[in-house]
Homo-oligomer: A and B are copies of this chain.
């Protein structure tokens, strides 16, 4: 097996591109895909402050490493969510990586930010914990990134993530989310825009990248995410990819180009701000999700289901 670029011995085969790469040219391929995503979606410039959300998983670790290698100004933000050993291990890996590489990563605790850890949520919240956790992370990332003077919040979402979210939204006709399926979401007011520079790379490619570059990451999946529908969506998309070459990239990028425009008018025009915290909200009550969940939980002395 010969490298498509230099004809030396190849170590990695990418079926979807009908390409084979040696280590050196695979890394070059990864940088090229990231650069292409940044440029084609006008994500950010070299002189901007990028706040990279770093969970400790392979994608966010690859994301901050790649952007740092490519010369972008990155600051990592890790939020310890309080999910037993999983969160402890994540924080440890992130701190060690920051120490060893010199890439700045700031660590925050959900307990301090929100007053409660994820593990403390009990019914009926525990049933939709992935959704709540996502909302809390987005909310506090917004606040932290604003405080740090970030121009953009960068997340490590890859092609598989984007496809599985899109599939879920199409399967259940979630019109309100369909226009937001884009690698750049513009910020409003004091909020920085959100960008996904790994959008052209697959789960598998990123796995190979972190291994090759010996980037440490949390191998375990979040113990609370078991049974989340996106896991099934990823499974079926992976299966389809084995049968129909490049179906994931076709799906996502065709969607962006040909279908998403139909849903653009569905974006909310009226911007509202939470009466409690002042942040943007689409809630009819005028109180954002995080503040209203805080209200609901206040006074309850639950011990959590886990």
Chain A interface residues (CB < 8 Å from chain B): 170-173, 175, 229, 232-233, 235-236, 239-240, 243-244, 247, 250-251, 254-255, 257-259, 262-263
Contact = CB atoms under 8 A, between A and B. Distances in A.
Contacts of A172: 250-251, 254
A175 to B, nearest CB: 6
A84 to B, nearest CB: 26
B239 A235 contact: yes
A173 to B, nearest CB: 4
A257 B254 CA distance: 23
Contacts of A263: 262
Q: Chain A's interface: helix, strand, loop or mixed, by majority?
A: helix
Contacts of A255: 170, 173
A263 B254 CA distance: 15
A262 to B, nearest CB: 4
A236 B251 CA distance: 15
14 contacts: A170-B170, A170-B255, A170-B259, A173-B254, A175-B259, A229-B243, A232-B239, A233-B240, A236-B236, A236-B239, A236-B240, A239-B239, A262-B262, A262-B263
A70 B69 CA distance: 70
A249 to B, nearest CB: 11
A295 to B, nearest CB: 31
A170 B171 CA distance: 10
B171 A251 contact: yes
Contacts of A257: 173
Nearest to A250: B172
Contacts of A232: 239-240, 243-244
Contact of A259 (B173, B229, B254, B258): B173
A290 to B, nearest CB: 27
A256 to B, nearest CB: 9
Of A229, A236, A239, A243, which is in contact with the most chain B CB atoms at under 10 Å from its CB? A236
Nearest to A227: B243
Contacts of A250: 171-172
A250 to B, nearest CB: 6
A146 B257 CA distance: 40
A233 B167 CA distance: 13
Nearest to A163: B171
A235 B243 CA distance: 12
Contacts of A247: 171
Contacts of A235: 239
Nearest to A169: B259
A243 B236 CA distance: 12
Contacts of A173: 254-255, 257-259
A226 to B, nearest CB: 12
Nearest to A243: B232
B244 A229 contact: yes
